[in-house]
């Protein structure tokens, strides 16, 4: 994310002073066209993209959330709900509003196709989840801009369900920090999202908030007050967001004043090409540049030829070039604007191209076919029609990347994430716990290569804004190419490894005692969770003790080393308790088992050393070799063992009891 800051701070300057200079002096790029193609079930892709948004849900999850490995998280945020931004756990009003607007726009244009595919209900529920967050974030003249602990959020890897536990341990905070903003770009995007939401749902509350947010954005006209978000999504110009919002307000209200404001204030501030009076048609639509999206809405709202021509110039730039300027392309055909989230920019333009073809150029056969073909080729590229045969849509196509930069999907328990997707043999986790169905990965480098490592954020990160234009475009692709959602999706994921387990070693085993070291471990991920009433049993046979004339009273048990001694979670030991016949057990019980949590190297396991013994004068009587829980253990070598059993209250969650009882 530090790289994201660098790239986006430089974005406008690069586009104005460097990239466009190169483009002015270059010839149009000859775009490679792959002869092969892929067959895409666009309804399945939309179904999975909506699944991705359910993965990103924060707060108390709605009953319709179908992600089997997610659970409630960040329930005490100042504004509950919303979407986590990317592979981290921040919530930004800017990207949530941007995303919700695009999802609403896609539905407004192609809702009939979504309904025909049977995805109407799911689509509307996911969209409303984002919109309702923006309503709640509206503070009257400002919005809650960012929720999350700056610094901590990008240094810690773990699941959202245990974020607060780790944050409290590391920082002492029990609630996530937040800030508010009056930045025009953010307020205008919030207004856009709710105006678009009003058009979808006809909820007057959405329109009321949209009006007040728009008025505040228009009055303020400054992006000085951005707060923490400026470090991650630095908003630059704001007239493009005002132009965009004014069009949405006109569409929601029918009030001519919004179009008049466009003519009076926003169009005169529309950016120009470098050192030219010509309106800017280069660069691309994204969270910080709404120029071309606003131009398209204005063309649709007014029918003015000069704005239809503006969209024509922009789409020519993205396809075969206009006036000597053309977006870069990978050698195998993807329109490539920018290193960070290259698929995102192409997908956004696909959506603009689909809408423009269907609304502005439907009577121009040449342009209609050209922009529809562009959309088809770019979307097929995302799904694997590229030189790598790699689908950048996770859970779609014949081959996906090995890595994805996403904390929740990783299921990491020890904060060590660099080995994900590798052949690491040092014992660190290499396998992802979950399949992040439907997420659009950042995409290829300009040369068509792809750096498939979890640390290559530009290539492998995912984000709600990456999927926004892509999701809207999928609605249009369903209209053109149909498709059927999967009937058995989503699958209920089964654990790939034990979620709660025990490993142990022999410290010492002598003629009067057995001393052990035991790790109780929490590697949960389906979903990630903690257990308060946590304990485990060690079983041993006292037949030789009884044969020697001793009694149960001669056996003593005690804790030696306890990782949590004197603190929350301190363990206690009890017993011996009769199990059956001459088999007894000692129970080690945590005062609060939630201290064993999958949040880091020092928390995912809890160490305890304990001793079971008889009086010293009885040397040689004690024989551990017939003890059930002793089998397979080695001196000073920690080994996973099913013969020490773990419990959530009375429920067996790990191991095999002596009579063969296993966890459900």
User: Of 145, 280, 290, which is closest to residue 224 (Cα–Cα)?
Assistant: 145
Split at pLDDT 50, 70, 90, the class of 32 is: low
- pLDDT at position 12 over 60: no
Which DSSP helix (H) or strand (E) runs through 558? strand 556-562
H/E run at residue 644: strand 644-648
SS3 of residue 155 by DSSP: helix
Question: Among all residues, which ones are annotated catalytic?
Answer: 88, 405, 452, 461
What was the pLDDT predicted at 9? 37
- Of 631, 526, 515, 495, nearest to 573 (Cα)? 515
Each residue's pLDDT tens digit, 578-624: 999 999 999 999 999 999 999 999 999 999 999 999 998 877 899 99
* Integer CA distances (angstroms), 329 to 212, 454, 536, in order: 42, 24, 59
What's residue 207's pLDDT? Answer: 98
Cβ neighbours of 447 (radius 10 Å) = 10
Three-state DSSP class for residue 398: coil
Average pLDDT of span 209-227: 97
Weakest mean pLDDT among 200-214, 467-481, 502-516, 617-631: 617-631
Average pLDDT of 81-92? 97
Q: Return the bridge partners of 605, or none.
A: 521
Q: Which fold has domain 500-654?
A: Immunoglobulin-like (2.60.40)
pLDDT of res. 154? 85
Q: What are the CA-CA distances from residue 230 to residues 1, 76, 134, 288, 486 (Å)? A: 12, 24, 19, 12, 40
Give the pLDDT band (50/70/90) at residue 4: very low
- 421: which strand partners? none
Residues 397-413, mean pLDDT to the nearest whole number: 97
Report the chain's mean pLDDT, rounded to a whole number: 94
pLDDT at 78: 98
Contact 395, 48 (CB under 8 A): yes
- Mean pLDDT score, 334-361: 97
pLDDT at 136 over 80: yes
| Three-state secondary-structure class, residue 557 | strand
| pLDDT at residue number 21 | 33
Q: Closest Cα partner for 49 from 464, 616, 610? A: 464
Share of the chain above pLDDT 90, in %: 91
C-beta of residue 118 within 8 angstroms of C-beta of residue 487: no
Per-residue pLDDT reduced to its tens digit, 260-278: 999 999 999 999 999 899 9
Rounded CA gap, 654 and 660, in Å? 12
pLDDT tens-digit readout, 236-254: 999 999 999 999 999 999 9
Q: What are phi and psi of 279, to 5 degrees?
A: -60, 145
Residue of higher predicted confidence among 14 and 624 = 624
424 — pLDDT class (breaks 50, 70, 90):
confident
Q: What is the mean pLDDT of residues 448-459?
A: 96
Indicate the pLDDT class of residue 15, thresholds 50, 70 and 90.
Answer: very low
Q: Please tell me the predicted confidence (pLDDT) of residue 8.
A: 39
**What is the predicted pLDDT for the residue at 34?**
54
d(CA 663, CA 340): 46
End-to-end CA distance of the chain: 42
Q: Give the whole-angstrom CA distance, residue 391 versus residue 190.
A: 32
Asked if residue 25 has pLDDT above 80, the reply is no
**Residue boundaries of the structural domains of the chain:** 2-479, 500-654
* Residues 203, 155 contacting (CB under 8 angstroms): no
Percentage with pLDDT > 70 across the chain? 95
Q: Which residues neighbour 185 within 8 Å (Cβ) at sequence distance 6 or greater?
A: 94, 217, 223, 235, 237, 238, 241, 288
Pull the structure tokens for residue 353.
């191209």
pLDDT for the residue 16: 36
- From 23-27, 179-183, 652-656, the region with the lowest mean pLDDT: 23-27
Task: Please state which of the four CATH numbers 3.40.50.1110, 1.10.8.60, 3.40.50.300, 1.50.10.10 is assigned to the domain occupying 2-479.
Answer: 1.50.10.10
> Taking 90 as the threshold, does the pLDDT of residue 406 lie above it?
yes
Cα–Cα nearest to 642, from 656, 653, 652, 624: 656
**Cβ atoms 109, 355 nearer than 8 A:** yes
Q: Which structure tokens are listed for 604?
A: 């995912």
Q: Could you tell me which residue, 489 or 9, shows the higher pLDDT?
A: 489
Distance between CA atoms of 130 and 470, rounded to whole angstroms?
17
Query: What band does 124 get if pLDDT is binned at 50, 70 and 90?
Result: very high
Is the pLDDT reported for residue 630 higher than 60?
A: yes
For residue 23, name the pLDDT band (cuts at 50, 70, 90). very low
Report whether pLDDT(422) > 80.
yes
């Amino acid at each position: 994310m530090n790289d994201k800051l660098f790239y986006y701070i430089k974005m406008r300057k690069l586009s104005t002073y460097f990239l466009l200079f190169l483009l002015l002096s270059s010839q149009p790029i000859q775009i490679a066209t792959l002869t092969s193609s892929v067959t895409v079930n666009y309804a399945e892709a939309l179904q999975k993209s909506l699944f991705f948004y359910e993965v990103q849900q924060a707060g108390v999850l709605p009953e319709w959330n179908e992600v089997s490995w997610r659970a409630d998280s960040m329930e005490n945020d100042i504004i509950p709900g919303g979407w986590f931004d990317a592979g981290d756990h921040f919530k930004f009003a800017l990207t949530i509003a941007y995303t919700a607007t695009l999802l609403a726009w896609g539905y407004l244009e192609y809702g009939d196709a979504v309904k025909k595919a049977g995805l109407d209900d799911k689509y509307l529920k996911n969209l409303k989840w984002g919109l309702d967050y923006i309503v709640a974030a509206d503070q009257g003249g400002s919005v809650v801009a960012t929720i999350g602990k700056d610094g901590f959020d990008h240094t810690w890897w773990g699941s959202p369900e245990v974020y607060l536990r780790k944050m409290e341990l590391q920082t002492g905070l029990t609630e996530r920090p937040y800030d508010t903003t009056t930045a025009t770009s953010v307020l205008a995007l919030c207004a856009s999202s709710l105006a678009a939401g009003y058009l979808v749902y006809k909820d007057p509350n959405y329109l009321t908030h949209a009006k007040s947010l728009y008025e505040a954005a228009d009055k303020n006209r400054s992006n000085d007050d951005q707060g923490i978000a400026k470090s991650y999504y630095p908003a630059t110009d704001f007239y493009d967001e005002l132009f965009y919002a004014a069009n949405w307000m006109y569409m929601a209200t029918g009030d001519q004043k919004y179009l008049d404001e466009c003519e009076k204030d926003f169009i005169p501030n529309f950016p120009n090409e470098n050192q030219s009076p010509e309106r800017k048609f280069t660069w691309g639509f994204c969270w910080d540049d709404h120029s071309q999206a606003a131009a398209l809405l204005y063309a649709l709202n007014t029918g003015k030829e000069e704005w239809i021509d503006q969209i024509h110039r922009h789409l020519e730039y993205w396809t075969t070039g206009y006036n000597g300027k053309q977006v870069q392309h990978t050698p195998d055909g993807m329109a490539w604007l920018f290193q960070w989230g290259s698929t995102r920019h192409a997908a956004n333009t696909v959506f603009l191209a689909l809408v423009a073809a269907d609304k502005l150029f439907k009577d121009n056969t040449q342009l209609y076919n050209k922009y529809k073909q562009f959309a088809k080729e770019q979307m097929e590229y995302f799904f694997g029609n590229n030189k790598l045969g790699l689908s950048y849509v996770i859970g779609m196509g014949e081959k996906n990347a090995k890595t994805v930069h996403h904390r929740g999907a990783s299921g990491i328990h020890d904060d060590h994430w660099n080995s994900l997707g590798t052949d690491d043999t040092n014992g660190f986790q290499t396998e992802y716990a979950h399949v992040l169905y439907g997420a659009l990965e950042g995409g290829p480098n300009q040369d068509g290569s792809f750096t498939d490592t979890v640390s290559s954020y530009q290539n492998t990160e995912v984000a709600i804004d990456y999927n926004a234009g892509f999701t809207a475009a999928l609605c249009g692709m369903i209209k053109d190419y149909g498709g059927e959602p999967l009937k058995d999706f989503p699958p209920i994921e089964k654990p790939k490894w034990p979620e709660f387990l025990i490993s142990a070693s022999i410290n010492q085993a002598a003629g009067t005692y057995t001393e052990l070291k035991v790790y109780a471990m929490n590697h949960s991920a389906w979903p990630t969770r903690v257990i308060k009433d946590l304990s485990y049993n060690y079983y041993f046979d006292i037949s030789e003790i009884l044969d020697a004339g001793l009694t149960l009273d001669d056996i003593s048990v005690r804790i030696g080393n306890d990782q949590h001694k004197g603190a929350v979670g301190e363990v206690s030991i009890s017993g011996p308790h009769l199990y059956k016949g001459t088999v007894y057990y000692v129970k080690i019980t945590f005062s609060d088992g939630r201290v064993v949590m999958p949040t880091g190297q020092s928390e995912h396991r809890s160490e305890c050393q304990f001793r079971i013994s008889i009086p010293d004068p009885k040397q040689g009587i004690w024989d551990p070799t017939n003890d059930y829980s002793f089998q397979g253990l080695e001196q000073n070598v920690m080994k996973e063992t099913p013969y020490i059993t773990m419990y959530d209250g009375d429920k067996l969650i790990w191991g095999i009891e002596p009579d063969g009882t296993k966890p459900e």
